[in-house]
A and B are shown apart, each in its own frame.
Chain A
Amino acid sequence: MNKTILAAATAALFALPLAARADDAALAARIEQLAAELEKLKAELQATKAAQAAAPAAVPAPAPVAAEPQGPATVLTGYGEINYNRPVHNSAGAQADARRVVLGFEHRFDPKTKVVAEFEWEHAVTSADDAGEAAVEQAYVEREFGHGIRAKAGLFLMPTGLLNTSHEPTAYYGVERNFVETAIIPTTWREAGFGLSGETEDGLTWDAGITTGFDLSKWDATSEEGRESPLGAIHQEGQLAKSRDLSVHGALNWRGVPGLLVGGSVFTGKAAHGTDNFPAQDARVTLWDMHARWTPGAWDLAALYARGSIGGIGDLNLTLAGNPTPVPSAFYGWYVQGAYHLPRSGDYALTPFARYERFNTAARYSAFPAGLEPQAGVLQNVSTVGANLRIGEGVVLKADYQKFGQDKNLDRLNLGAGFAF
């Protein structure tokens, strides 16, 4: 039984969600917590052994009891961020927004089986007349099979990029999430389906799965939404998702050298789902990325490249000629980011950072007759400088300045407060 308890604690260590990998501080806190629990288990084990040794031989052994994980079986989680944006050339556009508050739970049915769920409210007020939104961000069950292999089913985050599975405000630099991982990779991106993941002793982790995908019939060529984020405009988020065509994904991440993460992912799937009278029945969405993160000493360096394509859309785009937002056949973006952890001062840790990103949400259109080609999107660049101030392990205050290369009217000062637990 006690071996089972230890195994459960050990398994729990290995079962740390990938979401924590990019947040060293949060990861360290959780390891410390689990280590404390492990010490507690060891003490209980010693006490149990001592009690058994002292017990009379004639006393029968207690009937086997199902293994009980130590500590609470159900854990409440949450994160949130309240942001302030002030365009420097248009103070009338200044806004404060309770961008999102997320509450969740993780419940272990047994040492190998758990359910994870997160519920999100965006923009403070959700009603028919307000801009807010309520959503189930994740809801999946996961089972561990040993040898580092886990399987999950339900609505879960795609293992893409650096931010999608690690999107808590304490986990990234800057008040707002970076543009590449919102406009190109539609963070927070989740799909419903099945997934497998595992890891090897040499630091390689892998993910693979089959899930729902995008619904191209949702494309609204009269809206700017598709130009802001092509995939964000057609994601389904597990809401009555069309599922005739399923998508597949895979990801590899290598952590063989301390402080280094190198990885990539790919997602592909058809996006028409047999929709009646839809002229792009063979449309396919593909998105891939490559990323790296290196944390030598006090430095935290990251880089990412992501590229998406939507193929088989010729006949569809013909029907959209002249509209502001036809379907792009290619979109991409990349960024580099550097941060430096200044020495902690008690509970306070200040980390200045800088990020430069370039992205184009409509890098190419295809299949338009001569004279009807829409103008390709602009390759945009955004520079961000600022700092995160950590207070303890769960609270962060942020400030940064963003300069937009193509439209200085968008230049803005951002302030934010965030938390995660």
Chain B
Amino acid sequence: MIPRLSLILVSLLLCACGGGGAEPAATPAAPAVNQMSSAARLGAKIFADTSLSASGRQSCASCHDPAHGHAQSDSLAVQLGGPDGTTLGFRAAPSLRYLAGAGAFRFDKDGTAVGGFDRDGRAATLADQAKVPFLAPHEMANANPAEVIARLRQASYAAEFRGVFGDAIFDQPDQAYDRVAFALQQFQLEDPAFRPFDSKYDLFLAGKAQLNAQELRGMAMFNDPNKGNCAACHPSARGPNGAPPLFTDFSFDNLGVPRNFKIPATARADDFDLGLCGPDRTDLAARTDLCGAFKVPTLRNVATRKVFFHNGVFDNLTDVVTFYVTRDTDPARWYPRRADGSIDKFNDLPAAYRANVNTSEAPYNRQPGMAPALNPQEIADVVAFLGTLTDGYRP
């Protein structure tokens, strides 16, 4: 079976890398390139270099477009990649913004899984994460690190790479590959475009902008533990030291999202992406209680996303918020029926793991027939509030 990897890109639409068609409100401020380290400046070039892929048409930026919040620019549930750019992946491409604070994966004092990179947290650092797509068969599809380095030697910035990492660096492909990952990590850490904190909401927190009435109502619903309860996993308040909120606590949750049959792998009835417990991640295979849990993503720039959840099953925010509040009150709306007419709730999980789904917290703590935690107007309000989290707000 083809190993699954957190997606990165492809796209036959390479023009996306260049930023064409960017939405003005989502365009981050120009990175302070001159203030970055030499490694980070190299990382910027590697990030946008399509020549490092087997197809010659895919770079990091193809799936993590700076003009789209460093996330995918198209509406495909999962991205295309592989040697000829026609292989569909397994997971939706996440945004690369606001990731630096995740830290390595760990269990905190009460046993809660937290942190790491990739949707299953298996990469301990941004550098570790950066290595994955180069070799993923459905992504950049290089056979091994040496192949990546062989391509890099032909790049226009190869001399700069030697200048930074040593004249003999290309003679040691594995070490050179580590340097590639390091450069990409430094680029993500040093380029302020990965964390501009300049959304309307940021200005609102600073007292420099006002949310309109609907946005305020939506924010209240978002925060209210008895309504949306979104802030429980997507904190909206400044940290104790005044740090701006990241809208993720980097924890993992099992939401029981519907199976997305647009992903080719789902054609096999026994193929399940179980997040923390595998199959991509292997070290927690025995922790079956974690099967189905994926990392809570930041909601910053969520209004610019084209698809949602790890399997990209939804393509608009209203459906997402509606799913949260009606998953348990009206499951027939989201899940197919079995032959006997019963609802196949949580159908993207094997029957043995469906009990892992979070059903205890608001807004899930309801039964069929009960009123959802949010009504349609309140859902619209929450969606309006989420629109204030887009970077690059200009009053």
Task: Report which A residues bind B (CB closer than 8 A).
Answer: 129, 217-218, 220-222, 275-281, 315-316, 318-324, 369, 371-372
**Beta-carbon contact of A323 and B207 below 8 Å:** no
Which B residues are in CB contact (< 8 Å) with A278? 206-207, 242
Sample of 18 more A-B contacts, CB < 8 Å, known A278-B242, A322-B223? A218-B240, A220-B237, A222-B235, A222-B237, A277-B242, A277-B244, A279-B207, A281-B207, A318-B204, A318-B211, A318-B216, A319-B237, A322-B219, A322-B221, A322-B224, A322-B227, A372-B216, A372-B220
Confirm or deny: B150 has a beta carbon within 8 angstroms of a beta carbon on chain A.
no
19 cross-chain CB contacts under 8 A: A217-B242, A220-B240, A221-B237, A222-B223, A275-B242, A276-B206, A276-B242, A277-B207, A277-B208, A278-B206, A281-B207, A315-B207, A316-B207, A319-B237, A322-B227, A322-B231, A323-B223, A323-B224, A324-B225
**Beta-carbon contact of A279 and B205 below 8 Å:** yes
**Beta-carbon contact of A279 and B206 below 8 Å:** yes
Which B residues are in CB contact (< 8 Å) with A222? 223, 231, 235, 237
Which A residues are in CB contact (< 8 Å) with B222? 322
Complexed CA–CA distance, A320 and B237 (Å): 7
Q: Which B residue's beta carbon lies closest to that of A372?
A: B220
A222-B235, A369-B213 are contacts. A319–B220 as well, Cβ < 8 Å?
A: no
- B220 contact from A220, A281, A321, Cβ within 8 A: A321
Confirm or deny: B109 has a beta carbon within 8 angstroms of a beta carbon on chain A.
yes
Which B residues are in CB contact (< 8 Å) with A281? 207
Q: How distant is B217 from chain A, measured CB to nearest CB, in Å? A: 7
Complexed CA–CA distance, A221 and B240 (Å): 10
Complexed CA–CA distance, A319 and B200 (Å): 12
Give chain B's interface secondary structure class. loop
Q: How many residues of B contact A (CB 8 A)?
A: 27
Which A residues are in CB contact (< 8 Å) with B213? 369
Q: How distant is B69 from chain A, measured CB to nearest CB, in Å? A: 21
Within 225-247 of B, Cβ neighbours of A (below 8 Å) are at: 225, 227, 231, 235, 237-238, 240, 242, 244
Complexed CA–CA distance, A159 and B213 (Å): 45
Which A residues are in CB contact (< 8 Å) with B231? 222, 322-323
Complexed CA–CA distance, A220 and B239 (Å): 8
Complexed CA–CA distance, A391 and B248 (Å): 56
Which B residues are in CB contact (< 8 Å) with A322? 219-224, 227, 231
Complexed CA–CA distance, A369 and B218 (Å): 13
- A280 contact from B109, B207, B220, B224, Cβ within 8 A: B207
- A319 contact from B205, B221, B224, B235, Cβ within 8 A: B205
Complexed CA–CA distance, A280 and B237 (Å): 15
Complexed CA–CA distance, A91 and B256 (Å): 38
Which A residues are in CB contact (< 8 Å) with B208? 277
Complexed CA–CA distance, A32 and B220 (Å): 62
A129-B109, A221-B237 are contacts. A319–B217 as well, Cβ < 8 Å?
A: no
**Beta-carbon contact of A319 and B242 below 8 Å:** no
Complexed CA–CA distance, A371 and B213 (Å): 10
Which A residues are in CB contact (< 8 Å) with B223? 221-222, 320-323
Complexed CA–CA distance, A315 and B216 (Å): 12
Which A residues are in CB contact (< 8 Å) with B216? 318, 321, 369, 372
Which A residues are in CB contact (< 8 Å) with B238? 217
- A277 contact from B206, B219, B225, Cβ within 8 A: B206
Q: How distant is A174 from chain B, measured CB to nearest CB, in Å? A: 32
Q: How distant is B140 from chain A, measured CB to nearest CB, in Å? A: 39
Complexed CA–CA distance, A321 and B216 (Å): 7
Complexed CA–CA distance, A315 and B208 (Å): 10
Complexed CA–CA distance, A217 and B244 (Å): 12
- A321 contact from B109, B206, B210, B219, Cβ within 8 A: B219
Q: How distant is B249 from chain A, measured CB to nearest CB, in Å? A: 11
Complexed CA–CA distance, A279 and B208 (Å): 8
Which A residues are in CB contact (< 8 Å) with B220? 321-322, 372
Which A residues are in CB contact (< 8 Å) with B217? 371-372
Which B residues are in CB contact (< 8 Å) with A371? 217
Within 176-229 of B, Cβ neighbours of A (below 8 Å) are at: 202, 204-208, 210-211, 213, 216-217, 219-225, 227
Which B residues are in CB contact (< 8 Å) with A220? 237, 240
Which A residues are in CB contact (< 8 Å) with B221? 322
Complexed CA–CA distance, A371 and B235 (Å): 22
Q: Which B residue's beta carbon lies closest to that of A221?
A: B237
Q: How distant is B268 from chain A, measured CB to nearest CB, in Å? A: 43
Complexed CA–CA distance, A281 and B206 (Å): 10
Q: How distant is B314 from chain A, measured CB to nearest CB, in Å? A: 24
Complexed CA–CA distance, A320 and B235 (Å): 11
Which B residues are in CB contact (< 8 Å) with A369? 213, 216
Which B residues are in CB contact (< 8 Å) with A319? 204-205, 237
Most B CB within 10 A of own CB, among A280, A281, A369? A369
Q: Which B residue's beta carbon lies closest to that of A217?
A: B242
Most A CB within 10 A of own CB, among B109, B208, B221, B242? B242
Q: Which B residue's beta carbon lies closest to that of A371?
A: B217
Q: How distant is B391 from chain A, measured CB to nearest CB, in Å? A: 16
Complexed CA–CA distance, A379 and B46 (Å): 62
Q: How distant is A245 from chain B, measured CB to nearest CB, in Å? A: 16
Complexed CA–CA distance, A278 and B203 (Å): 10
Q: How distant is A284 from chain B, measured CB to nearest CB, in Å? A: 16
**Beta-carbon contact of A277 and B235 below 8 Å:** no
A279-B205, A369-B213 are contacts. A323–B237 as well, Cβ < 8 Å?
A: yes
Most B CB within 10 A of own CB, among A222, A319, A322? A322
Complexed CA–CA distance, A319 and B211 (Å): 9
